[in-house]
């Protein structure tokens, strides 16, 4: 005979599946910009994450916190099915070949979380903005979009292939945002509205979400701590997920392990100040020489085959890393230890994200630990992301690659791949659907 707790869980599950079935039926009703696919349930998810608070820019490709949270705030024009084929999300239809190029049309009636109506001007603004940032990885091969004078909700890609346009606009790095978008107070069409808070962000359910509001009522995101603080918060039941583990001193009772998606790659860059060590390919040789064991504890999926690498021989040097990401700072310490000898010392130097970006752009550094966000499923998107991270111009004319293994790609670039950064850890037993880490789909069981 079931106990009362189990009975309540069963009832909660039946209620959930009933709600999901009703939402699925609703999705077949043709209404302009009506929510699709989700029925709100309720509850608050509490996150304590080892990142500093900063801008939440969906078009940024160098910030792991953005890779984690931005898809909850900003949607893409197209989504990919299980076979990786694009289908309309915020677009009214798949891209259509017209005279002179390809037309992309927004769904009618789209409104942001803060009530801004969207049209073709916002579409062009978003894609030009994305192209100047991380979206270059998938947009560099396409011509810049222009307004379609015959359709106020549309943009044109002159002389572009419709299939290529759909694939590029399915990337989270090409999310739709309104004109005048401010990443410090982000506003878009996602399942949540992001509101800055004293400790980080609060993600509130977006009633205007074109693809359906979130199951959760809100997500409270506490930022600014280190890895230990994030684990301590979970262990003491002040957070609902444990970042990279189930507790700091002991595992939380009832904690359930989970493994989420890959966010991107942790890369080692060599710059001008490294002299001959900045030659293309040497960064990957150096990355190959870093022992795997100390890196695995920091959420890295490491290359399947360990290779004999090259030892750093460039003398004393600073290893720059973003101070806003304690997880990367800890990784940098392991890399610096592997490069240091009695004759030379490599020192970790955490710097503000703005300084890291400036140094990256000017190439004025010796060594840098960096993050490159994944723009899409493994394969050609991996090639484009790493090319754009090395030099956006390379993504405009990508070479044919015999392999899409990131470490193979990096052997021709001034950066080396240490491993793939993956979301992992433990969750409270009543939190579900974290494996995809699509926060709009996460729910809390009764």
Q: Which structural domains are found in the chain, ordered by start?
A: 64-174 (3.90.76.10), 261-423 (3.10.105.10)
Which of 19-33, 250-264, 299-313, 340-354 is the least confident region? 19-33
- Write out pLDDT tens, residues 162-212: 999 999 999 999 999 999 999 999 999 999 999 999 999 999 999 999 988
Check: CB of residue 130 under 8 Å from CB of residue 139: yes
pLDDT tier for residue 22 given thresholds of 50, 70 and 90:
very low
In the Cβ-directed half-sphere of 389, how many Cα atoms lie within 13 Å?
Answer: 34
pLDDT tier for residue 55 given thresholds of 50, 70 and 90:
very high
Higher pLDDT, 250 or 24: 250
Question: Above 80 in pLDDT, residue 38?
Answer: no
Average pLDDT over residues 18-37: 40
What was the pLDDT predicted at 76?
A: 98
Residue 10 parent element (H or E): helix 4-26
Average pLDDT score, the chain? 90
pLDDT tier for residue 61 given thresholds of 50, 70 and 90:
very high
What was the pLDDT predicted at 320?
A: 98
Rounded Cα gap, residues 164 and 106, in angstroms: 18
What was the pLDDT predicted at 225?
A: 86
Q: Is 229 helix (H, G, I), strand (E, B) or coil?
A: helix
Rounded Cα gap, residues 202 and 441, in angstroms: 17
What was the pLDDT predicted at 40?
A: 56
What was the pLDDT predicted at 8?
A: 38
Handedness of CA 243, 248, 253, 257 (dihedral sign): positive
Residue 348 parent element (H or E): strand 346-351
What was the pLDDT predicted at 296?
A: 85
Question: Above 80 in pLDDT, residue 307?
Answer: no
Show the tokens assigned to 304: 């399947």
Tell me which residue of 64, 105, 165 sits closest to 370, measured CA to CA: 64
Q: Is 76 helix (H, G, I), strand (E, B) or coil?
A: coil
Cα–Cα distances in Å, from 30 out to 36, 40, 291, 343?
10, 20, 55, 70
CB atoms within 10 A of CB 237: 12
């Amino acid at each position: 005979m079931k106990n009362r707790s189990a009975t309540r869980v069963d009832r909660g599950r039946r209620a959930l599946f009933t709600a999901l079935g009703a939402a699925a039926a609703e999705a077949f009703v043709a209404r302009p910009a009506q929510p699709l696919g989700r029925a709100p349930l309720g509850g608050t998810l509490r996150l304590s994450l080892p990142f500093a608070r900063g801008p939440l820019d969906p078009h940024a490709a160098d910030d792991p916190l953005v890779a984690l949270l931005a898809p909850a705030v900003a949607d893409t024009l197209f989504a990919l099915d299980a076979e990786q084929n694009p289908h309309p999300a915020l677009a009214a239809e798949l891209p259509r070949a017209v005279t002179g190029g390809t037309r992309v049309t927004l769904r009618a009636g789209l409104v942001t979380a803060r009530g801004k109506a969207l049209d073709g001007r916002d579409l062009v603004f978003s894609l030009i903005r994305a192209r100047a940032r991380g979206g270059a990885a998938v947009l560099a091969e396409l011509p810049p979009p222009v307004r379609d004078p015959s359709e106020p909700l549309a943009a044109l890609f002159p002389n572009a292939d419709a299939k290529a346009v759909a694939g590029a606009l399915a990337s989270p790095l090409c999310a739709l945002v309104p004109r005048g978008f401010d990443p410090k107070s982000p506003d878009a069409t996602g399942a949540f509205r992001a509101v800055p808070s004293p400790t980080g962000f609060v993600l509130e359910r977006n009633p205007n979400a074109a693809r359906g509001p979130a199951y959760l009522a809100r997500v409270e995101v506490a930022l600014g701590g280190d890895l230990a603080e994030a684990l301590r918060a979970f262990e003491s039941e002040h957070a609902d997920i444990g970042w990279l583990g189930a507790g700091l001193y002991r595992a939380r009772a009832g904690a359930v392990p989970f493994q989420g998606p890959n966010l991107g790659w942790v890369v080692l860059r060599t710059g001008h100040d490294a002299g001959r060590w900045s030659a293309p390919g040497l960064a990957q040789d150096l990355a190959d020489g870093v022992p795997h064991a100390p890196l695995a504890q920091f959420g890295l999926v490491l290359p399947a085959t360990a290779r004999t690498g090259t030892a750093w021989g460039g003398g004393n040097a600073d290893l720059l890393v973003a101070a806003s990401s304690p997880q990367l700072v800890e990784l940098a310490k392991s890399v610096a230890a592997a490069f240091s000898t009695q004759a030379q010392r490599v020192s970790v130097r955490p710097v503000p994200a703005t300084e890291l970006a400036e140094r990256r752009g000017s190439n004025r550094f010796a060594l840098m630990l960096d993050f490159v966000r994944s723009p899409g499923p493994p394969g050609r998107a991996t090639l484009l992301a790493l090319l754009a991270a090395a030099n956006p111009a390379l993504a405009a004319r990508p070479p044919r690659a015999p392999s899409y293994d990131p470490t193979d790609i990096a052997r021709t670039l001034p950066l080396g791949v240490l491993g793939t950064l993956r979301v992992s850890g433990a969750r409270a037993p009543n939190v579900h659907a974290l494996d995809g880490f699509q926060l709009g789909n996460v729910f809390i069981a009764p």
